[in-house]
Amino acid sequence: MPKNKREKGVSVWAVRFTESAEMDIAAILEYITERDGIEQAQALLQLFRQGRASLAALPSRGHLPPELAKLHISDFREIHVSVYRMVYQTDTSDRCVYIHAVLDARRHVDALLRERLLRGDALPE
């Protein structure tokens, strides 16, 4: 299957989750399953999938995370999915969106974002 397909006249970007983002989602879904049940976890998973699909169609739709803007880091954007923040980066050379983190927006994430995004969990080589 080609990396980028066209749907209804719109060029679709590839969207990939980093290993860290996949681990974030797994932990979130495990917590929701234990706390609220499998149906709630499945509903949230569907919202994450919708968020991913929206990035495939409109990768520039998100905004700069304020914690990173303060540090003059403008390579990353975020969208909100329910109470979660999907932090991502676009690579125009291969028309791909890399989702680096899925974080609870209610938590203080300054240090986590800086550590994760600046330590090298950025674009794969």
Residue 1 placed within a domain: no
Angle between helices 38-57 and 19-36 (to 10 degrees): 150
Which sign, positive or negative, has the C-alpha torsion 78, 106, 84, 58? negative
What is the pLDDT at residue 93? 93
CATH of the domain at 72: 3.30.2310.20
End-to-end distance of the chain based on CA atoms, in angstroms?
A: 22
pLDDT in tens, the chain (125 residues): 344 555 555 679 999 999 999 999 999 999 999 999 999 999 999 999 999 999 999 999 999 988 888 888 889 999 999 999 999 999 999 999 999 999 998 877 776 766 666 665 544 44
Residue 24 placed within a domain: yes
Residue 123 placed within a domain: no
What is the pLDDT at residue 11? 72
Residue 6 placed within a domain: no
Which sign, positive or negative, has the C-alpha torsion 28, 81, 59, 68? negative
Residue 124 placed within a domain: no
- Provide the pairing of β-strand 14-17 with 96-104: parallel
Domain that holds residue 94: 13-118
What is the pLDDT at residue 8? 59
Number of folded domains that form the chain: 1
Average pLDDT over the chain, rounded to whole? 86
What is the pLDDT at residue 33? 98
